[in-house]
């Protein structure tokens, strides 16, 4: 169920997104935490620009979502995107703090959960990201389960990702998604992918082989009156993947280091990502950019198929 936005909410559409909404063009939402907390500058701005360009090439319109000085932005102008990529003080904003960032006139980058909320309110049905948050390893002790999972259960947006990072407990993440009724569809593979790696060792709950089939599945869910999101897992291109066995070594080291440094709460994911970036000498970043670009392409194809 998509609630409309109050006319009193401070919201701003980029010129391109406003024009696209007027003519009913397909739109693809993009998150901004990946820009401010997921990658270092200038790799982050290069990724953000190239992802937007890919979506345009595929005949859709990109809408990068963020809160800037208390205004919810649906689509960023090039200068706004650049400024956000350079900011070091942006909040990481999820469902719990999206309204806080707006009310307190803060600048905040939206996670998957917060981007889904903004996209749904703005009438955007498809969203491309890198990886979703999930159940962290050791969650039985820490209770660290990303709000992304709950959002997927309740908000009607198709989220295209490269699977779940193996810094998470992937089996538990899939269990929670199943419990909450979120369809998990891997694109063109029987195996659920693990972000930097094409393989997780786990079968995907569902598989579809074309954007049209994904659009048709979503339309059928709507016909049945089933609300909530769905997760499309798109394996990283083979040329850029880091194999699972190799990745496992880096991940173990990053998790050990996070425990030593007593990292908790929303700092965990950014810490692990930047530690892995250091350990792999930047190779993980190259993989990360490649998979986001790959996801943007598929998301645009799905948005175009949904519009047909
Ligand atoms: N995966 C990445 N880079 C990121 C994230 C995930 O490769 O920056 C971000 C996304 O915005 C995701 C968030 O929604 O981390 C999850 O954080 P948490 O586990 O604290 O909910
Ligand atoms: Mn968390």
Q: 5-54 pLDDT, tens per residue?
A: 888 999 999 999 999 999 999 999 999 999 999 899 999 999 999 999 99
What is the distance in A from the centroid of ligand 2 to the CA of 266?
A: 5
Entry pTM: 0.96
Burial of 283 (0-12, 13-18, 19+ CB in 10 A): middle
Q: In angstroms, rounded to a whole number, what is the distance separating the alpha carbons of residues 5 and 71?
A: 13
pLDDT, one tens digit per residue, over 91-132 is 999 999 999 999 999 999 999 999 999 999 999 999 999 999
What is the distance in A from the centroid of ligand 2 to the CA of 254?
A: 16
Closest by CA position to 145, among listed 169, 163, 166, 161? 169
Q: Which of 33, 40, 176 to mutate to test the pocket of ligand 1 (most atoms within 8 A of CB)?
A: 33
How many Cβ atoms sit within 10 Å of the Cβ of residue 43? 18
Nearest-atom index, ligand 1, CA of 266: 20
> Among the options 16, 31, 293, 301, which is catalytic?
31
Decide: 273 in ligand 1 pocket, CB within 6 A.
Answer: yes
ipTM: 0.95
pLDDT, one tens digit per residue, over 225-274 is 999 999 999 999 999 999 999 999 999 999 999 999 999 888 988 899 89
Q: In angstroms, rounded to a whole number, what is the distance separating the alpha carbons of residues 93 and 89?
A: 12
* Residues found in the chain: 308
- Stretch 287-303: mean pLDDT, rounded? 97
Question: Where is 12: in which H helix or E strand?
Answer: strand 11-13
Return the pLDDT at 298: 98
């Amino acid at each position: 169920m998509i609630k409309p936005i109050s006319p009193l909410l401070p919201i701003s559409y980029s010129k391109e997104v406003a024009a696209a909404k007027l003519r009913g063009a397909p739109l693809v939402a993009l998150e901004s935490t990946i820009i401010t907390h997921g990658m270092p500058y200038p790799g982050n701005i290069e990724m953000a620009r190239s992802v937007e360009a890919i979506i345009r090439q595929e005949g859709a319109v990109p809408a990068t979502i963020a809160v800037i000085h208390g205004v919810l932005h649906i689509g960023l102008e090039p200068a706004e995107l650049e400024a956000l990529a350079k900011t070091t003080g942006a909040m990481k904003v999820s469902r719990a703090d999206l309204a806080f960032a707006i009310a307190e006139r803060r600048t905040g980058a939206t996670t998957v959960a917060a981007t889904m909320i903004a996209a749904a309110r703005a009438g955007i049905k498809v969203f491309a990201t890198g990886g979703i948050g999930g159940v962290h390893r050791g969650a039985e002790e820490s209770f660290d389960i990303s709000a992304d999972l709950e959002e997927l259960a309740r908000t009607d947006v198709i989220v295209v990702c490269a699977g779940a990072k193996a810094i998470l407990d992937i089996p538990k993440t899939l269990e929670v998604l199943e419990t909450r009724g979120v369809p998990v569809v891997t694109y063109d593979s029987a195996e659920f992918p693990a972000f930097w790696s094409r393989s997780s060792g786990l079968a995907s709950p569902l598989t579809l082989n074309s954007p049209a089939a994904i659009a048709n599945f979503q339309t059928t869910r709507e016909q049945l009156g089933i609300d909530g999101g769905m997760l499309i897992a798109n394996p990283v291109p083979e040329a850029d993947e880091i194999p699972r066995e190799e990745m496992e070594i880096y991940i173990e080291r990053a998790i050990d280091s996070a425990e030593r440094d007593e990292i908790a709460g929303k700092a965990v994911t950014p810490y692990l990502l930047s530690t892995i970036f250091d350990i792999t000498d930047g190779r993980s970043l190259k993989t990360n950019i490649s998979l986001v670009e790959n996801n943007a392409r598929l998301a645009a194809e799905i948005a175009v198929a949904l519009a047909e």
